[in-house]
Structure 1
Amino acid sequence: MTEEIIRRYGQRVGYTESEAEMFHEGGHRVRQVKRLSQAASKYSIQAEVVSAKNCNSGHKNGQIFMLDVDGNFISKFCPKRMCVYLISQLVIPVALINERLSEGLEPNDFHFMRYVQCPDVGVDCYGYGEVMLKVQVVPRAK
């Protein structure tokens, strides 16, 4: 089963035969692809706007950004406009969630970056606006 998962993954991303052979070195990539493929049907990553003020991109409280467990935005479940400064802050929490899933750990039990903010500090501090997201793993909608 694991080899079939890895074979399909290699085909999807376009690995050559030699790249597919190298993929097994270290074991961590095989473990991650296998476990994330198992988690993909169960979970999504949700980033919800919990605080927004004066956002130039129009982000508002309650907006949801949905990602698959690999960290890809699911565009039909995201705002039409997404600020690069805000969504770039998702890199670390998504990586933490990926790591937890690939090690078979509870995906929401990470310590840091459950909440992330755009780097803008708001008009009071000579910036423009400010937005905060809450990041968590949620059961995948059927």
Structure 2
Amino acid sequence: MPVYTCTAAQGTLTGESKAALAAEITRIHVAINHVPPAYVNVIFSEPPPDSVFAGGEPGAPLIVSGWVRRGHPQEEATRLALELSSAAARVTGVPEGHVMVVLQDGPARSAVEGGLVLPEPGEEKEWLARRGEFGRAS
């Protein structure tokens, strides 16, 4: 359901740190938003170093952008962003001052996964049962 894109200049993250960050993003999202781990998607984008800037200067930020379903309590969204920022710095070695986390939310009805419109927060159990009828892409 959620989609996280982690953007950092090529060479900033190792394969090991990407795997650890994907695992932490998944763990944190599952703990706060109560969805199965298999439904958390994490993608890494690594533009060349000469294509990454901060403040108009060449930089080395780690930007974690996430799309989540609208309707979760704001306190949980803020906690999610804070925990993602801390975890990103901890597992990648990028100083937290260079980590930016941006969460965008949208109506569940604006997204489709596995041929089904996403459920509203709190309606996952029925949706997952229906989703099971269609199988889960690997």
TM-score, with structure 1 as normaliser: 0.31
Higher strand proportion (structure 1 or 2)? 2
Task: Name the larger-Rg structure.
Answer: 1
Higher helix proportion (structure 1 or 2)? 2
TM-score, with structure 2 as normaliser: 0.32
